[in-house]
Chain A
Amino acid sequence: MNLTLNIWRQKNNTDKGGFREYKVTDVSKDMSFLEMLDVLNEQLAEKGEDPVHFDHDCREGICGMCSLYINGKPHGPLQTTTCQLHMRSFNDGETITIEPWRAKAFPVMKDLVVDRSAFDRIIQAGGYVSVNTGGVPDANEIPIPKRVADEAFDAATCIGCGACVAACKNASAMLFTSAKISQLALLPQGQVERKERAEKMVAQMDAEGFGACTNTGACEAECPKGISISNIARMNREYFSAVVSSENV
C-alpha cells in the first residue's frame, strides 16, 4: 500500500515544532506500524534527512516504551501498543496523522519522544513494599486466594506507557497510579503501608501536574493492557480512608 504520513517534527524541547508530510510506498500489510516508520526512516536517511525519532524497545507490547498518538488515538485504532499494531489495520491511500503524547507532565524531547519520568517519581513515592533483600518468610507462608492474586495481577500488568494520560482530556494519571495502588492494596504484603502509600502516591501525582479525573473512561478504553477503571474507584476509597485517619497531617 501507499500512504501519506502527517508527522509532528520538533527539534528539541524548546523548539515550537509542527507537522510535516511524507509519502511511503510499498508498505506491506504484515509490517508492524513501527516497521513502517523504519522504512520511512531508511528512506529519509538515504536522502541525508534527519530520521523521525520515536521511542521503542521490546517491540513485543511489554516494555511500555513505544507511544504515538495515531489519528487522534493513543497507540492507534486497536486496543494494543503501537509496536503490536500492524498495517493490516490501515487502507491503501490513507493519510495517517502521528503526534507525540500531549500532556504538561510529559514534555516533548524531540519529534515523537516525550519525557515520562513523572511516572517513575510516582512509583518512588510509595509504589513498593518496604522489604529489604533477605530475611523474608518462605514464599508459601503467605497464601493468597487465587481470585485475589488474579485481580492483583490484572492491575500489575500496567506497562507504564502513558496512553491513559494521553487519552484523557485532563491528562490525568489516575489509571496508572491506581493500578499500582490496587495491586498492593489487594495483596497481604501491601497492607502494612497501605494508607501511607495511597496518600503519598496521589500527592506526587498531583505535584507532577497531572490533571483531575472526571470519569470519562477514555483511559480504560485506550489502555493497551485493559487496566480497569474500577482501580480508580479503589484508589479513591484507599485515599479517602487514608486521609480520614491520617497520621501525616
Chain B
Amino acid sequence: MKDREKNTMLSDAMIIYRKEIRNLIKDKRTLFATLILPLLLMPVIFIGMDTVMGRQMDQVREKTYTLVIRNNDDPQLIAVIEQQLFIDIIDEPVVGSLIIEFPNGYSMGDETDVNIYYDSTSQSITFASERLIRALQEYDRILANKKLTEFDLDLESLYTIKTFRVDTAPEESQGTEFLVMMVPYLIIIYTFAGAMSVGIDTTAGEKERGSISIILVNQISRTSIALGKVCYVLSMGVASSIMTFSGLLIAFTATGGLMGESSFSGFAASSLVILLLVLIFTSMLAASIIVLLGSLAKTVKEATSYVMPIYIIVVLLGVLTMSLDPSSKPLLFLIPFLNSIILMKGAILGNATLLQLLLTVISLSVVISLLIIATSKLYNSERILDSAVN
C-alpha cells in the first residue's frame, strides 16, 4: 500500500490555498493589480484632486470680472465690491459679464430689491456672484449705519452679541468635504475589484481550463477544495482592502491640512478601527459573492456578467441613500453593503456607534457564512462539472 498522509478537512483546504498563493506570487501583473494598485489609488485621487481644485480656486479668485452696475454710481458700493473681487466696471454687458441692477430711479437708502445677473454654467462667474452677494450685504450694513447715525445711533450698539466663525481649514480645502464623502464609495468599488480577478480565475477560470474535474479526482474532499478556494479569495480580498486602507491613511496624511478639523473631528483612533473592520468584512462579503458566482458560471465571461450587476446595484444602493440619516433606523445596519457604506460615512464623520458596528458585523458575518456554505454545497454537487464544453 502507498504511503499516505493523514489529513483533516482544513489541512486539505490549505493544500489548495498554498498552491493558489504560490501561483499568484509568480503572477506579477495580478499581484500588482490586487495589492499595489489599491495602495496607490487613494493617494493619487486625493492628492490629484487637491492639486486640481486648489489650482482652480486660485484661478477663479485671481480672475478679473467685467461688471455692469445699473442705477447706482455710489463709489462706496464699488469699494466694497473691490474688497471681494477684481473687477472692471463697464457700461454695457459683454459675454461673461455680471450685472447688478438697482431699480430705475433708485436713490440711496430706498427699500428695494437688487438683482444680480450671472451665468450659472460658468463656475468662476458663479463664484463671483456669491462674492457680489457678500459685497451687497456689506453695502447694506453701510447704508443701515448711515441711517442710524441720523438718530445718533450706530449699528454696533444694536447688536449685543457678536459671533465669529473662524474656519481653520486652509482656503484650498473648499470642496474636499465632498471628496471625503466619496471615500466609502471608492472603497466599496475597490473591495469588489480586489477579489474579482483572482476569485473568477480560480473558479470559472478553472472550468475554462478544463482542470476542474482533474482537481476533483483525488483524496481531498470537495468541501476542502471549496474551502481552500474561498480562503484564498477572501484573503486576497482582505489583503487588497488593507492596502486600500493604508492608501487612505497615506492620502489623509499627505493632504492632512486639507482635511482640517471641519470634516474630521480629530479622526479618532476608534474611527480608524471601525473603518478597518468594515473594510475587512465588506471585502470578505464581496469575495464570497464572487467565489459563489464564479463557481456557478461556466466561463470567465459568464462569471463577470454575473458579478457586474451586483456590483452596480451595490454602488447605486449607496448613491441613492447618500443623504439618508441612519441615526434613528438601526435596522438599516442589517442590510449588507448599505450598512458598510453608512457605517464608513459615520466613522469618517465621527458619529458611528458601537451598536451600529455590532449590527453590521453580525449581519455581514451571517451573509458571508451562508455564501460559503452555498459554495461548498455547489462543489459537492454535479453542477460544478458544468462547463462550456457540454
| A pairs with B | no
Interface residues of chain A, those whose CB is within 8 Å of chain B, are none
Interface residues of chain B, those whose CB is within 8 Å of chain A, are none
